[in-house]
Structure 1
Amino acid sequence: MDYETVGADAFGAALRGIGLNLLVRDVPAQVDFLRDVFGMGAHRVSADFAILTYGTQVMQIHADGTYRSHPLLGLLPETPPRGAGIEIRLYDTDPDTAAARADARGATVLQPPTDKPHGLRETCILCDNGYAWVASLPKPETRQGT
């Protein structure tokens, strides 16, 4: 699918499985963060909407105003963090690189890169919208073939 030219109806009809859609105050700023820190692909970026890709996964970002007639908008907190309680896990992102990029941007590295007992090295980074992004890779000793 060509994310740059696909129409909204065809894009929506093609979505399958579990989808992720985040409501944010500033779509272009959120897209810049995700591209810079995690290397995500960004398509159809506007003030209202963006399609993001991470490997073969697709997610969407919508500006708060696009939900003005949706009941979810009334549940958003007036002050951050709005994403409390959700972790968005990016299993194919080097945590050390992501933490360094986030730190360089002035983002909050909630947890520095750490080797965890469940076999992953991970970091937890908060974006300006308060969502927790967890970048991780298998620890070297648990990676396949090592």
Structure 2
Amino acid sequence: MTRDHRFGLVLWATDVGALADFLVEVAGARLLGRHPGFAALEGPGCDIEVHADETYRGHPWFVALTREGVARGIGAELVFRVDDVLAAYRAAIRLGARVIAQPYEFEGRVECQVMGPDGYVFGLWQPWNPATSG
């Protein structure tokens, strides 16, 4: 991890490229580098690394993930502030995401939730501007 931020994520993936592309196109992350089995990205306020499953063969969950196909992000939501929720939502759908909640207005923001590659749930949000909202 580059350790440029106070917070970092390491995500396991069956397809490193697909998850990295999703993070770039949907969540607005910046790709820093990609190699077989690995991608480094900079997200808003965090460093993100995506590793292929074989990186963690000794991890206690490795067998369950590869044998059972368990959703890796189960019980967590990765929340990203984006410039345009509707555009990010459409990009997610185009990339095959499953809709959890379509864009909606709530407590001063517009947000939505989608399930992306490997079952990771992404919350996407932007501040709501009532002057430009329909």
Shorter chain as denominator, the TM-score bin is 0.7 to 0.9
* Amino acid across the alignment from 1:67: Y
* Amino acid across the alignment from 2:126: L
**More off after superposition, 51-60 vs 81-90:** 51-60
Specify the alignment match of 1:88 in structure 2. Answer: 78
Residues 110, 126 of structure 1: 8 Å contact kept: yes
Residues 33, 127 of structure 1: 8 Å contact kept: yes
Distance, in Å, in 1 between the alignment partners of 2:62 and 2:28 is 29
Deviation, structure 1 residue 75: 4.7
Deviation, structure 1 residue 43: 2.1
Find 1:40's aligned residue among 4, 29, 40.
Answer: 29
Are 1:110 and 2:100 matched, yes or no? yes
SS in 2 for 1:71: coil
Residues 44-71 of structure 1, C-alpha deviations (whole Å, 9 max, x = no match): 2122111111234211111110001233
Compared with structure 1, are the counterparts of its residues 75 and 103 closer, same or farther at alpha carbon in structure 2 (3 Å cutoff)?
same
- Name the structure with the higher strand share: 2
| CA RMSD of superposed structures (Å) | 2.3
TM-score by length of 2: 0.82
Q: Say which structure, 1 or 2, has more relative contact order (CA 8 Å, 6+ apart).
A: 2
Specify the alignment match of 1:25 in structure 2. Answer: 14
Specify the alignment match of 2:88 in structure 1. Answer: 98
Distance, in Å, in 2 between the alignment partners of 1:84 and 1:93 is 26
Are 1:120 and 2:95 matched, yes or no? no
Residues 86-140 of structure 1, C-alpha deviations (whole Å, 9 max, x = no match): 1101023421111111122232121111111x32210111112101111101111
Deviation, structure 1 residue 141: 3.8
Compared with structure 1, are the counterparts of its residues 140 and 41 closer, same or farther at alpha carbon in structure 2 (3 Å cutoff)?
same
**Between the two proteins, what is the percent identity of the paired residues?**
31
Compared with structure 1, are the counterparts of its residues 75 and 19 closer, same or farther at alpha carbon in structure 2 (3 Å cutoff)?
farther
SS in 2 for 1:82: coil
Deviation, structure 1 residue 18: 3.0
Are 1:136 and 2:125 matched, yes or no? yes
Q: How many residues align?
A: 130
Compared with structure 1, are the counterparts of its residues 27 and 103 closer, same or farther at alpha carbon in structure 2 (3 Å cutoff)?
same
Residues 38, 93 of structure 1: 8 Å contact kept: no
